[in-house]
Structure 1
Amino acid sequence: MDFKCADLCDEHASELVICQSEFKSYGKKPKFHGPISTVKVFEDNVLVLESLESIPEGSVLVVDGGGSRRCALMGDRLGEIAQNRKLAGIIINGCVRDTEDLAKLEVGIFALGSNPLKSKKEGKGEKQVPVSFGGIQWQPGSYAYADGDGVVVSERKLL
């Protein structure tokens, strides 16, 4: 179903929280929506991989990477997993890499920026916990809607 975040704000402003972080779109899908799954990590993407491999089709993986720009939390290999598992999208409070390859993938990918350095592989972090960035408390099970105007979150499915 097609949508615009601006229209959702017009119709459901009292139910939405608007993300204050500005993201760049890296995937082939510039807009996406779905139920939120979360992961909280810092410069370590092991749990990002585990989440991409296990969350339900159509989900939006919200990755709180602490806003670090010192390494990438996702590249082409993880992007392909998201595409192949038919996830709606990924929102990363951090960086990606392999941006030319990510641009060819049929998945939504929003991140703060890019960095060619890969992350650590220690497996530290938490999955399916509330995370907070961009002025939003991202709750697993809430719904994210993302497009060129930004990202909005609702406790319930709007589309």
Structure 2
Amino acid sequence: MNQKKELLALDITPDLCDHYEQEVRWLPLSMQDYGGRSVFYGQVVTLRCFEDNSLVRDILAAPGKGKVLFIDGHGSCHRALLGDQLALLALDNGWEGIVINGAARDVATLGSLDIGVKALGVCPIKTVKRQTGEENVTLTVTDTLVYPGDMIYADRNGILFSKTALDLSVIA
């Protein structure tokens, strides 16, 4: 069994915090798991948008092997920035996961997909399409800086960021 499959059932962020305390940043935000994979990690791709997921589709249509899309929807849960169709697109293109400072929808379907999805909450309403947003910018979410190109590690305990890839062999 490869290392990624073995990590699916583990709590990785507590061990990473213990071993890399000075090298990780914790996102102090309670998010819900909606994807079929509760443990995921990869290189961060950032997007800032508000109630418009036009650019989400554009980003997830590109190859995403080893990457996680972090969407800052400004904490709005009035419109869903991700649904089943975009999650399937991400899965088809190899993305590891999607984190949304905002809402998701189609959560029953999301839970059946082998991709990590974390969001603040759910909303059945789709977004408007204005082609607005900013890709690959530094985000500030609950006083935590999220840089494009950083590494993100997520599990049911929370979300961590680091400037470089961490050695996962430290996980007990």
- Please tell me the TM-score bracket, short chain as reference: over 0.9
| 2:137 matches 1:125 | no
Aligned to 2:30: 22
Aligned to 2:57: 49
Q: Is contact 2:95–2:115 with CA below 8 Å preserved after alignment? A: yes
Residue in structure 1 matching 2:19, options 7, 11, 15: 11
Q: Percent identity?
A: 36
| 2:86 matches 1:78 | yes
Aligned to 2:161: 153
Give unpaired runs (5+ residues) of structure 1.
none
Structure of higher CA gyration radius: 2
**Off by >2 Å, runs of 4+ in structure 1:** none
Counterparts of 1:66-145 in structure 2, within 5 Å, are: 66-145=74-153
Q: Distance in 2 between matches of 1:123 and 1:26?
A: 25
Residues 109-131 of structure 1, C-alpha deviation per residue, up to 9 Å, x if partnerless? 00000000000111111111111
Q: Is contact 1:29–1:108 with CA below 8 Å preserved after alignment? A: yes
State the number of aligned residues: 159
TM-score normalised by length of structure 2: 0.90
Residue type matched to 1:157 in 2? A
Q: Distance in 2 between matches of 1:95 and 1:119?
A: 10
Kindly report the root-mean-square deviation, in angstroms, between the aligned alpha carbons of the 2 structures.
1.0
Q: Distance in 2 between matches of 1:44 and 1:87?
A: 20
TM-score normalised by length of structure 1: 0.97
Q: Distance in 2 between matches of 1:153 and 1:98?
A: 27
